[in-house]
């Protein structure tokens, strides 16, 4: 009888409503990689006669690895114990001495929706996070894909440590993500990732039909790396689709495919078979053709450099104002709209009276300047502020919404509306 390969049981613990997509992405990524693990989580519990908390703790005790994913909610609190299901699951994992992998949402860079913020149990969440940070080396994540990349690397490492994945069979992993698939001119382009191999740097390639960039990115001792194109660079880049290629060198820290400068020409060469193509000059390849040519070179079986390909589109910034209907004096109305600007930006709203009279005569009519925060959303980010018309006279006005200080020409949107005397 052929013995079945051993599998480890992995328990995924998190709140559900706010992190459902994160859980699904992690689950699918582990399955896609065909790792020798069996995943446990609330999605597979089914109907049982036991209390929900008893089912959760029993499943934890029967697992081999515990994964804790913590967002901005503390979660449902078990009344008799006064702690959330997630914290009780974590405590059970520690009691059972399970290897524990902890992932905390990056509070500064992740997209966080207001509805996913826990105001009621915020203090308990803070204490729980402090407990995790004290007891474990943790990772932070900014998105579903970023989280799945980090979990995959850490679970793979744990399996290798337990002898379930041979080092000889695996060349390690290289995973990476980009801050957005749609970026507007003047916003930052940020990539980050991790590799399981000890290397000094990662090659960062950027291709467009009218642009090329290559540089090396430092890799930290824990295998993580990140790089940001300052806002000055995307401001000058042309619109269109960009292709990012991240290249991890071979085990001896040498890059087998790299760009070289020869006179007035930039070439890409393979140090293994000496194939080459031009990036500039006669017969040069651009954009996706150049990216695919590099990938073809890296696919040579004699080359053990790993690579990850990412893409993003760059477009001009825009602001849209939702329609404003006629308003009665004294109303406080919500003013809303959308934008492709990132949440790193801010907006300014200004109201101007429309009249043939000199603007100075309407100074008391002006509502001044309102600073607006951009809120993350899908498919586009949105913004909101409240307009108080209690000091505004009857008449016609123009609303201007524009970007605050940022490189390049500011984006601006306008809309006219009327304030009528309250009847």
Query: pLDDT by residue (tens digit) across 208-233?
Result: 888 889 999 999 998 899 999 876 67
Query: How much is the pLDDT for 268?
Result: 92
Dihedral, CA atoms, 156, 101, 48, 34, nearest 10 degrees? -10
* pLDDT of the residue at 338: 93
370 burial (CB, 10 Å; 0-12 / 13-18 / 19+) is middle
* Burial letters 77-92, b for 16+ CB under 10 A, else e: bbeeeebbbbbbbbeb
pTM: 0.57
Give 34-52 pLDDT, tens digit per residue: 778 888 888 776 666 678 8
**pLDDT score for 367:** 53
Domains of the chain: 1-170 (3.40.50.10140), 171-316 (2.60.40.1930), 319-420 (2.60.40.1930)
Residues 6+ apart with CB under 8 A from 77: 83, 84, 121, 124
C-alpha distance from residue 359 to each of 11, 330, 398, 402, 415 (Å):
66, 22, 13, 20, 18
Question: How does DSSP classify residue 361?
Answer: G
* DSSP code for 230: -
Strand, helix or coil for residue 95:
helix
What is the pLDDT at residue 364? 42
Q: Do 175 and 194 form a contact (C-beta atoms < 8 A)?
A: yes
Evaluate whether 402 touches 413 at the Cβ level (below 8 Å): yes
Indicate if the pLDDT at residue 93 is higher than 70.
yes
Residue 365, CB half-sphere, CA atoms under 13 Å: how many?
20
DSSP character at residue 4: P
Inform me whether the pLDDT recorded for 157 exceeds 60. yes
Nearest 10 degrees: Cα torsion 78, 82, 87, 91: -100
How sure is the predictor about 360, in pLDDT bands with cuts at 50, 70 and 90?
very low
Which has more confidence, 72 or 181? 72
Percent of the chain with pLDDT over 70: 89
Q: Which is it for the CA torsion 17, 22, 25, 29, positive or negative?
A: negative
Half-sphere exposure of 335 (CA within 13 A, CB side): 30
Q: How confident is the model at residue 410 (pLDDT cuts 50, 70, 90)?
A: confident
Q: Is the pLDDT of residue 145 over 90?
A: no
């Amino acid at each position: 009888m052929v013995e079945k390969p051993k599998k480890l049981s992995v328990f995924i613990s998190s709140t559900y409503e706010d992190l459902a997509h994160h859980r699904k992405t992690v689950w699918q990524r582990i399955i896609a990689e065909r790792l020798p693990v069996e995943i446990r989580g609330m999605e597979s519990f089914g109907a049982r006669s036991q209390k929900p908390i008893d089912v959760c703790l029993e499943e934890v005790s029967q697992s081999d690895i515990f994964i804790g994913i913590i967002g901005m909610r503390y979660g449902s609190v078990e009344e008799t114990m006064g702690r959330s299901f997630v914290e009780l699951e974590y405590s059970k994992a520690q009691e059972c001495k399970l290897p524990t992998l902890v992932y905390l949402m990056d509070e500064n860079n992740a997209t966080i929706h207001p509805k996913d913020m826990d105001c009621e149990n915020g203090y308990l969440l803070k204490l729980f996070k402090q407990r995790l940070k004290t007891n474990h080396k943790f990772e932070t994540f900014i998105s579903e894909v970023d989280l799945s990349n980090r979990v995959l690397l850490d679970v793979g490492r744990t399996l290798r440590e337990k002898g379930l994945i041979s080092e000889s069979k695996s060349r390690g992993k290289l995973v990476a993500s980009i801050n957005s698939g749609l970026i507007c001119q003047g916003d930052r382009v940020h990539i980050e990732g991790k590799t399981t191999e000890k290397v000094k740097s990662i090659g960062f390639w950027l291709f467009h039909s009218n642009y090329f960039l290559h540089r090396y990115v430092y890799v930290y001792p824990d295998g993580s790396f990140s790089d940001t194109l300052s806002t000055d660079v995307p401001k000058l880049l042309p619109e269109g689709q960009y292709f990012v290629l991240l290249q991890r060198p071979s085990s001896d820290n040498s890059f087998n495919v790299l760009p070289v400068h020869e006179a007035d020409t930039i070439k890409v060469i393979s140090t293994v078979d000496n194939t080459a193509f031009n990036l500039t000059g006669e017969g040069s390849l651009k954009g996706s053709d150049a990216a695919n040519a590099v990938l073809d070179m890296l696919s040579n079986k004699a080359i053990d450099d790993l690579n990850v390909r990412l893409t993003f589109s760059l477009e001009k910034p825009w602001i849209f104002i939702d329609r404003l209907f006629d308003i009665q004096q004294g109303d406080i109305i919500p003013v809303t709209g959308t934008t492709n600007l990132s949440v790193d930006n801010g907006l300014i709203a200004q109201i101007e009276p429309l009249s043939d009279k000199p603007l100075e005569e309407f100074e008391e009519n002006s509502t001044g300047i309102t600073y607006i925060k951009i809120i993350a959303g899908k498919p586009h980010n949105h913004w909101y502020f409240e307009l108080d018309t209690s000091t505004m006279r009857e008449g016609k006005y123009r609303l201007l919404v524009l970007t605050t200080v940022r490189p390049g020409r500011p984006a601006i949107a306008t809309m006219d509306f009327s304030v009528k005397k309250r009847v």
